[in-house]
Structure 1
Amino acid sequence: MKALVLSGGSGTRLRPITHTSAKQLVPVANKPVLFYGLESLADAGITEVGMIVGETAAEIEEAVGDGSKFGLDVTYIPQERPLGLAHAVLIARDFLGDDDFVMYLGDNFVVGGIRTLVEEFRASRPDAQILLTRVPDPRAFGVAELDADGQVIGLEEKPEHPKSDLALVGVYLFTPAIHQAVRAIRPSWRGELEITHAIQHLIDDRADVRSTVIRGYWKDTGNVGDMLEVNRTVLEGVQRRLDGDVDEASETVGRVVIEEGARIVGSRIVGPAVIGAGTVVTGSYVGPYTSIAENCRITDSELEFSIVLRDSSIAGVGRIESSLIGRHVEVTPAPGVPSAHRLVLGDHSKVQIRS
């Protein structure tokens, strides 16, 4: 069994971060989201991975390499522009051959991995198996409709009037039957070859399409709010570890990770939180659900429920929360501006000013 990992796309909902970085490499608890997916594939016993890459290919390839550090053998498959998930299957045909495969969206996060799902699929081998989860607003997702017996009878892509609250999770399992389906469909109104249309084609041909409603945590980390939530969820599982230097004037409370080479000076760190290697926190407070990457400087500031990427500096700015701060960023106080009123008053005016 092989895997097809999608790591293209422009990440418009995470801009401006993704103007200069691949969305799949934005870190969660100081590890890129993509790495969690690759580790899940390796844990499920899959070793051959085809990775769809686009305009951020060079950055993805530098981060992942040949896949050996994950126990994988990675083949890169370029996609000139994002033309839909089914298009990714289409261009990966030579790599996939006639093997069963998992298609995994590189910016998705599934707590607990996919080993059990892969084992069940291998045992029963339906033509396709989709993962579903209940969401409060399914209009932003592919949506599945099930009959009274739980059988998949229809799929829609981002419907205006959803027929259920069951959204497709970004993990799909296929046999080679999917290849005929992706060749049979036409581009949607978005100009993309939709994987939902290809699966619907299988359903219409009475293929065996099954679904699993997952109860665990899943997130599409496509926007800042979801990225912060995933960071919070991962940090819930960290274990206290102080490998860096914490001086006597500092306090660490709860599940705090201080990586080797980090220094905490006259500061208070309340977990769950992670401080990356080479980072220096001075005279500051770092609160729960915060991850600070390597080689940052936090000085005379407060930070909570936030992600700070590497080589950034925050100094003397009071409190920051619910924030995603990119690489090589400098955050400093604004210069003081004298308070004054500028007036142009006509004859016989009467003006009251509150000082």
Structure 2
Amino acid sequence: MKALVLAGGSGSRLRPITHTSAKQLVPVANKPVLFYGLEAIAAAGITETGIIVGETAAEIEDAVGDGSAFGLRVTYLRQEAPLGLAHAVLIARGYLGGDDFVMYLGDNFVVGGIDGLIERFRQERPAAQVMLTKVADPSAFGVAELDASGRLIRLEEKPARPRSDLALVGVYLFSPAVHDVVAALKPSARGELEITDALQGLIDAGLPVGAELVSGYWKDTGNVTDMLEVNRLVLESLRPAVEGTVLDSELIGRVSIAPGARVTGSRIVGPAVIGPGTVVENSYVGPFTSIDRDCTLADCEIEYSIVLRGASLRGVRRVEASLIGRHAEVTPAPRVPSAHRLVLGDHSRVQISS
């Protein structure tokens, strides 16, 4: 079995962060989201992995390399434009050959790995296997409809009127049977080759397509809210470690201070992680906060946030639920004299709080 990892999307929902970097490399607990997926693939015993890349190809390739750091052998496959998930399968056909494969969306996060899913696929041998989860707004996802016996009967991509609240999770398993179906697909109204249409084609051909509800935790980290939630989840299992320098400071709970980091005159309440080379002075870092490498925090307060490499926060109070980009600078606004500017009609009566 091979793996096909999709890392070519533009990440429009994470802008402006993704104007300058790949969305799959935005860190969760100071490790890129993409890396969690690659580790899950390797843990499932898969070594041959194709990565679909687009405009951010150079950045993805620089971060992942040849895959040996993950125990993988990586081949990069260029997708010139984001023309749909099934289009990624189409351009990867030569690489995938006659092998079964797992397709993993590089910005998805699945707790518990995919070992069990792959093992069941190998035992039951369906044409495809999908994972489903209940969501509040199914119209934003591929939606699955099951019959009374729990058999998958229909799929639809981002429907205006969803037939169920079951969304497709970004992990799919396929046999080589999918290639002929994909080759015959026509672009949808969105101008893309939809993976839901490919799955529906397998169903319509009478081939078995398995479906199971996610038993663990899944998130599509396509927006800031979900990124922060996944960051919180990962930090819940953080192992405390103090390898940097800590002076005149208070560390409470699970706190990780990386080598080369320096914390002075500060209070850090875990779970929180401070990256290598980062300086924290006279500051408060609250729970569920990840500070990446080479950052500076001085006279500030922050919690439930992600701060990317090289950013600085100086003299600001109570930053929370935020995603701070690489080398961003956050400082107090200059003070300006307070004044009221009024244009009042005749016989007006105005009360102004001083």
Same fold (TM over 0.5): yes
Q: Deviations over 1:75-114 (max 9, x none)?
A: 1100111000000000001100000000000000000110
The CA deviation at 1:340 is 2.0
Write out aligned runs for 1:292-307 (5 A): 292-307=291-306
Structure 2 Cα separation of the partners of residues 114 and 87 of structure 1: 23
Structure 1 Cα separation of the partners of residues 152 and 309 of structure 2: 44
Q: Give the corresponding residue for 1:22.
A: 22
Which residue identity lines up with residue 187 of structure 1 in the other structure?
P
Which residue identity lines up with residue 69 of structure 2 in the other structure?
K
Which residue identity lines up with residue 25 of structure 1 in the other structure?
L
Q: Helix, strand or coil: the match of 2:313?
A: strand
Q: Deviations over 1:229-278 (max 9, x none)?
A: 0000000011111111111x210011111111111101010011100000
Q: Give the corresponding residue for 2:320.
A: 321
Which residue identity lines up with residue 241 of structure 1 in the other structure?
A
Q: Give the corresponding residue for 2:36.
A: 36
The CA deviation at 1:345 is 6.8
Q: Deviations over 1:136-192 (max 9, x none)?
A: 221111011111111110001111111111110000000000001111221111000
Which residue identity lines up with residue 228 of structure 1 in the other structure?
L
The CA deviation at 1:343 is 5.0
Query: How many residues matched?
Result: 353
Q: Give the corresponding residue for 2:334.
A: 335
The CA deviation at 1:125 is 1.5
* Stretch moving more, 97-106 or 154-163: 154-163
Gaps of 5+ in 1: none
Are the structure 2 counterparts of residues 48 and 301 from structure 1 closer, same or farther at C-alpha, using a change threshold of 3 Å? same
For the pair 1:152 / 2:152, whether they are aligned, the reply is yes
Q: TM-score, normalised by structure 2?
A: 0.97
Are the structure 2 counterparts of residues 350 and 157 from structure 1 closer, same or farther at C-alpha, using a change threshold of 3 Å? closer
Which residue identity lines up with residue 24 of structure 1 in the other structure?
Q
Q: Give the corresponding residue for 1:235.
A: 235
Q: Give the corresponding residue for 1:123.
A: 123
Write out aligned runs for 1:72-87 (5 A): 72-87=72-87
Structure 2 Cα separation of the partners of residues 200 and 304 of structure 1: 45
Structure 1 Cα separation of the partners of residues 342 and 305 of structure 2: 42
The CA deviation at 1:342 is 3.8
Are the structure 2 counterparts of residues 147 and 350 from structure 1 closer, same or farther at C-alpha, using a change threshold of 3 Å? closer
Q: Helix, strand or coil: the match of 1:46?
A: coil
Structure 2 Cα separation of the partners of residues 344 and 225 of structure 1: 42
Structure 1 Cα separation of the partners of residues 249 and 305 of structure 2: 21
Q: Give the corresponding residue for 1:222.
A: 222
Structure 2 Cα separation of the partners of residues 63 and 353 of structure 1: 60
Q: Helix, strand or coil: the match of 1:5?
A: strand
Q: Helix, strand or coil: the match of 1:104?
A: strand
The CA deviation at 1:116 is 1.2
Write out aligned runs for 1:185-196 (5 A): 185-196=185-196
Q: Give the corresponding residue for 2:259.
A: 260
Structure 2 Cα separation of the partners of residues 18 and 125 of structure 1: 39
Are the structure 2 counterparts of residues 127 and 350 from structure 1 closer, same or farther at C-alpha, using a change threshold of 3 Å? closer
Are the structure 2 counterparts of residues 341 and 104 from structure 1 closer, same or farther at C-alpha, using a change threshold of 3 Å? same
Q: Helix, strand or coil: the match of 2:130?
A: strand
Q: Give the corresponding residue for 1:309.
A: 308
Identity of counterpart residues, as a percentage?
71
For the pair 1:205 / 2:205, whether they are aligned, the reply is yes
Q: Give the corresponding residue for 1:277.
A: 276
Q: Helix, strand or coil: the match of 2:183?
A: helix
Which residue identity lines up with residue 282 of structure 1 in the other structure?
E
Q: TM-score, normalised by structure 1?
A: 0.97
The CA deviation at 1:9 is 1.1
Which residue identity lines up with residue 40 of structure 2 in the other structure?
S
Structure 2 Cα separation of the partners of residues 5 and 345 of structure 1: 64
Q: Helix, strand or coil: the match of 1:317?
A: coil
Q: Give the corresponding residue for 1:184.
A: 184
Which residue identity lines up with residue 22 of structure 1 in the other structure?
A
Structure 1 Cα separation of the partners of residues 184 and 251 of structure 2: 59
Q: Give the corresponding residue for 1:166.
A: 166
Q: Helix, strand or coil: the match of 1:334?
A: coil
Which residue identity lines up with residue 274 of structure 2 in the other structure?
I
Structure 2 Cα separation of the partners of residues 345 and 231 of structure 1: 51
Q: Helix, strand or coil: the match of 2:210?
A: strand
CA RMSD of aligned residues (A): 1.2
